[in-house]
Structure 1
Amino acid sequence: MIRRAEPNDARAIYEILSKTDDPWTMGVVESELKSDSSKAFVYVDETSAVGGFVDIKILYDEADLMHIAVSEELRGQGIGAKLLAKVIEVAEGKAIALEVRKSNFKAISLYEKYDFKKESVRKNYYHGEDAAIMWRRK
């Protein structure tokens, strides 16, 4: 099930993000969960354990996908796709932008399935690795 992230989810979100290539500090996680412009959601299993996280900022007529991550043991089960679909629903037709490591072929493939297109490159964005900037404009 996907539901709105709550402040008491911060520790579980932090644990998931700490194992990614682009971790956030606990302070950033807590700040995002409190931000008025941020809309954060979690995937929870039948025991209510958090297994995935997505955060989007909606600003005027655009949205920026800030982070999407699934716990290592749950990857490959379609949870990332469900979280991405939730972001698209919440954006309500607004254009959505994101940055992704150029070497993250699995993520790029997922984004392309949801009509994101590579539009440019941000050099050395990820500590020396380029990021593809992708947009979904619908």
Structure 2
Amino acid sequence: MKISRASKEDIKRLFEIENSLFKDDIFALKLSSFYYHIKSSIIYKVKIGETVGYILWLKRKNFFRLYSLAILDKYQGLGLASSLIEYSLKNLEKKPLQLEVRISNKKAIMLYKKFGFKEVKILKEYYKDEDGVLMRLER
């Protein structure tokens, strides 16, 4: 396993991963979004032979916002999401981190809590079909 910052050459692969996991999601990223984020945001990729996942952090003035964390289905359960978060914590500036997650996504909520994220508030009707949870990590 190798984690590094994604580059322009990775965009098509990142989009394939996004499309395979979030195709029908209202927040799914388009190919053009990846071209934008490669320049203006921080994307770390994880490779096991080929790129199998990524984490996308949006830079805000006083914090980073985790916008997307994606691991291909057949590589889930191997600790890759944890590795991406750990790598992020070591490599991002020491600013607070924030994210939104579906209230039903208990697995993701537990993952974020493992790294010290706290539930800040419930976001009513944040997603098309359910509430979200705003989580934050002060550092």
TM-score after normalising by structure 2: 0.90
Within a 5 Å distance, the mapping from 1:1-138 to structure 2 comes to: 1-18=2-19, 19-20=21-22, 21=25, 22-35=27-40, 38-45=41-48, 47=49, 49-138=50-139
Deviation at 1:81, TM superposition (A): 0.3
Alpha-carbon contact 1:58-1:91 (below 8 Å) kept? no
- Distance between the aligned counterparts of 2:11 and 2:65, measured in 1? 20
Normalized per residue, the structure richer in strand is: 1
- Distance between the aligned counterparts of 2:90 and 2:126, measured in 1? 28
- Distance between the aligned counterparts of 1:61 and 1:89, measured in 2? 17
TM-score after normalising by structure 1: 0.90
Deviation at 1:74, TM superposition (A): 0.2
- Distance between the aligned counterparts of 1:15 and 1:129, measured in 2? 26
- Distance between the aligned counterparts of 1:34 and 1:58, measured in 2? 11
Partner-residue secondary structure (3-state), 2:78: coil
Aligned residues: 134
Q: Which moved more, 1:66-75 or 1:83-92?
A: 83-92
Deviation at 1:66, TM superposition (A): 1.3
Deviation at 1:9, TM superposition (A): 0.9
Amino acid at match of 2:46: Y
Partner-residue secondary structure (3-state), 1:129: coil
Deviation at 1:40, TM superposition (A): 0.8
Partner-residue secondary structure (3-state), 2:126: strand
Amino acid at match of 2:134: I
Deviation at 1:127, TM superposition (A): 1.1
Q: Identity of paired residues, percent?
A: 28
- Distance between the aligned counterparts of 2:107 and 2:18, measured in 1? 17
Deviation at 1:55, TM superposition (A): 1.0
